[in-house]
Amino acid sequence: MMLCKLSLKNIKKSIKDYAIYFFTLILGVAIFYVFNALDSQTVMMDVSSSTQDLIDLMMTVLSSVSVFVSFVLGFLIIYASRFLMKRRNKEFGIYLTLGMSKRKISLILFLETLCIGILSLIVGLGVGVIISQIMSLVVANMFEADLTKFTFVFSSSACLKTIIYFSIMYLIVMIFNTISVSKCKLIDLLNGAKTSEKVKLKNPYLCIIIFVLSSIVLGKAYHIVTSEFLTLQEVTDALKPIIMGIVATFLIFWSLSGLILRITQSLKKYYYKGLNSFTLRQFSSKINTTVFSTTIICLMLFVTICLLSACFTMKNSMNANIKELAPIDAQFTVNMNMDRYYENYKDYGYTDDQIKNSHYTAKEMFELFDFDITTYFKDYIEVNTYATPDLTMNDTLGSRLDSIRTQFPFLAYDTKEPIMKISDYNEVAKFYGIEEYSLKDDEYMIVADFDSMIKIRDIALKNGEEITVFGHTLKPKYDTCQDGFLEMSSNHINTGIILVPDEVVDEDYLIQNHLLGNYKTNDKKEIEQIENDINALDKDKRANSYLLPSGSTKLAIKEATVGLSAMVTFIGLYLGIIFLISSAAILGLKELSESSDNKERFLILRKIGTDEKMINKALFRQIAIFFMLPLILALIHSIFGIKFAVQVLEVFGTEELLPSIIATAFILVVIYGGYFLITYYCSKNIIKERY
């Protein structure tokens, strides 16, 4: 009973020291619950079966991510407990001096950890339940669910999962604390606060050389990532710039730890102004032992910034693409004349009968299966695409082929180019509401919307490369690709369609027929029923002999897009926020530890007449340096990381990059800045304490 009272008294007395610890635990519990409770929130939503499948997949992925998150939070809790142990070394030393056994001290720590754990779980779960209701509205809005049946939901499974995961973490912390106490020596506990690292001035010339070399290595890593990474063939080659970046980051911090004090000491007016000399020496006294942790924090911040920016960009771009790239209700495509190109199709699972009977257009195929499209479509068009072995990418790139092959060796240059009549494409463009074009008898043009392929094709077009199509020699009308597409999608996937005059085309080389249309109804339920009826045709036994058209509908694209964007967003937020919290919490705890160790030094400043304003300013600058140092380099890394992400995400579009960066910056300021302010005010309270 006495030990329980002592434990509660210690918690109450050290509440200022526990502030960041409590805040981090509560935030960790709340976030863990929120993202694991998403499946319970979706129960009240009236969504289609395909959407529900996407939600189930999202929850499976989030459950796997939660395992990783639990390890990150577990490490963070153990690290935080080390700070609290160090903070109370003198207290434990006094206990031992008064005759208390190490077993009883371990029991006190056990009870304190238990109380903190229970309190954090209760408050964190309470906060999590509240936030999860808001999150459920976000999820429902993303999936366009029916919110008329919205009710307050508590996820017992997420609650149980959170309690189990965090109980295991707290148990590990208790064991760790017990082992730490058992190994403590009385003399170390009593004098722990008086020991500090000596300021070791490294050789400035060595530091300069290492800084320059590491900057060069980092620059090379940036170049590989932004210019060469996507062309690398081997995994080991892809790992090189990553390893180079990590090592260079560590060496930059190592060299800066030896240069900062030297540089500032040479700037005498600045160094001796106010308490700058005190602040910088305080910073330098610990920087040598924080190089590794600062490197880890910098890399975590870098991953957080890139992850959040990329996820938000992908989500926003995909949602914006639906209107642009899926402008009509449905599109159906059927392969034709497959018997002429049997070698190209025999490995795709088609039967001999399907290949032999591949002479029906999409509309004719529907009629063959007793499905009258005029019953369901208010308007529709039919267009064709062609291909010939005599026109591949090798031919369209012409004299620039060799130089392009050297730059982009991974492309399939032997692929036959898709060809369309200009009249057919203009019919599609009119139906889509996009730009129409015209051609002279001896001209061709290329429409595309996939940026990487546009850049490659533009090289040949700027060179005026002529092509031969069905015996006709054509010259390019434009020296660049024009914007356009045929296939509906949520992404920019058109790598290039060759548009030629109608009279050039040989009908014998027809390979695909496309049926594009709009439904008579706008009711979602009715549209779902129509598409279910179309999908049901595949169960007809005649499907083994005839090739049914493959469909791409606005509704299916929208549901798939929303599902993927939601999954990417939630995973990005989950990992990004956890990494951000971990980085900020580690820095905050380190600074609280520094403030605890330096309490006597600040007391001496007061005794020699330094006013509180100058002391607080010195403390603020000291903490700001520790928080800003890894963040600045992380931001520099992120510039090139985001450039790489743009290359990867160009298929989805990067028009929404700026709003995504702004959203990421807002989250960074709120969480990272919040931890900075909490650290500052807690540190200010610590250095005000009197013995």
Q: Where are the alpha helices (DSSP H) in 333-386?
A: 342-345, 352-356, 362-368
As a whole number of angstroms, the distance between CA 453 and CA 301 comes to 33
Contact 107, 10 (CB under 8 A): no
Distance of CA 327 to the CA centre of its chain: 28
Neighbour-count burial of 337, counting CB atoms closer than 10 A to its CB (0-12 exposed, 13-18 middle, 19+ buried): middle
The per-residue pLDDT for 474 is 95
Task: For 243-293, write each residue's pLDDT tens digit.
Answer: 889 999 999 988 877 676 666 666 666 666 766 666 666 666 666 667 888
Closest by CA position to 62, among listed 45, 37, 41, 43: 37
Using the predicted structure, report yes or no on whether residue 644 has a pLDDT greater than 80. yes
Angle at CA of residue 126, ends 15 and 63, nearest 5°: 110
Kindly tell me the sign of the dihedral angle through the C-alpha atoms of 358, 364, 366, 369. negative
Over range 361-369, report the average pLDDT. 90
Using the predicted structure, report yes or no on whether residue 344 has a pLDDT greater than 70. no
Estimate the share of the chain in helix, then strand, then coil, as percent rounded to the nearest 5.
70, 10, 20
Quote the pTM value: 0.75
Using the predicted structure, report yes or no on whether residue 558 has a pLDDT greater than 90. no
Task: For 481-535, write each residue's pLDDT tens digit.
Answer: 999 999 998 788 899 999 999 999 999 899 999 999 999 998 888 888 888 888 8
How does residue 547 score in pLDDT terms, banded at 50, 70 and 90?
A: confident
Tell how strand 419-421 and strand 497-500 pair up: parallel
The per-residue pLDDT for 84 is 65
Using the predicted structure, report yes or no on whether residue 691 has a pLDDT greater than 50. no
The 8-class DSSP code of residue 207 comes to H
The string of DSSP letters for 97-129 reads HTT--HHHHHHHHHHHHHHHHHHHHHHHHHHHH
Contact 651, 491 (CB under 8 A): yes
Coil, strand, or helix at residue 410? coil
The per-residue pLDDT for 317 is 76
For tokens 């129960």, the residue is 43
As a whole number of angstroms, the distance between CA 32 and CA 159 comes to 9
Contact 480, 445 (CB under 8 A): no
Amino acid making up residue 503: E
Contact 434, 488 (CB under 8 A): no
The 8-class DSSP code of residue 484 comes to -
The per-residue pLDDT for 197 is 46
Q: Which residue has better confidence, 95 or 683? A: 683
Cα end-to-end distance, the chain, whole Å: 28
Domain layout of the chain by residue ranges: 1-195, 328-553
As a whole number of angstroms, the distance between CA 498 and CA 388 comes to 12
As a whole number of angstroms, the distance between CA 23 and CA 268 comes to 41
Task: For 86-122, write each residue's pLDDT tens digit.
Answer: 666 666 666 667 667 667 766 777 777 777 778 888 8
The per-residue pLDDT for 524 is 81
As a whole number of angstroms, the distance between CA 422 and CA 441 comes to 11
236 CB-near residues (< 8 Å, 6+ apart): none
What percent of the chain lies above the pLDDT cut of 90? Answer: 22
As a whole number of angstroms, the distance between CA 298 and CA 288 comes to 16
Closest by CA position to 564, among listed 572, 553, 575, 552: 572
Q: Which residue has better confidence, 660 or 272? A: 660
The per-residue pLDDT for 434 is 93
Over range 443-471, report the average pLDDT. 92
The per-residue pLDDT for 511 is 92
As a whole number of angstroms, the distance between CA 374 and CA 503 comes to 30
Tokens of 684: 């200010």
How does residue 15 score in pLDDT terms, banded at 50, 70 and 90?
A: low
Element (H, E) at 508: none
Amino acid making up residue 389: P
Closest by CA position to 22, among listed 116, 161, 142: 116
The 8-class DSSP code of residue 50 comes to H
Over range 174-198, report the average pLDDT. 60
The per-residue pLDDT for 332 is 94
Using the predicted structure, report yes or no on whether residue 186 has a pLDDT greater than 60. no
For tokens 């693409």, the residue is 321
Closest by CA position to 279, among listed 619, 651, 645: 619
Q: Which residue has better confidence, 136 or 47? A: 136
Distance of CA 670 to the CA centre of its chain: 18
What pairs with residue 385 in β-bridges?
A: 512
Q: Over the chain, what is the mean pLDDT?
A: 80
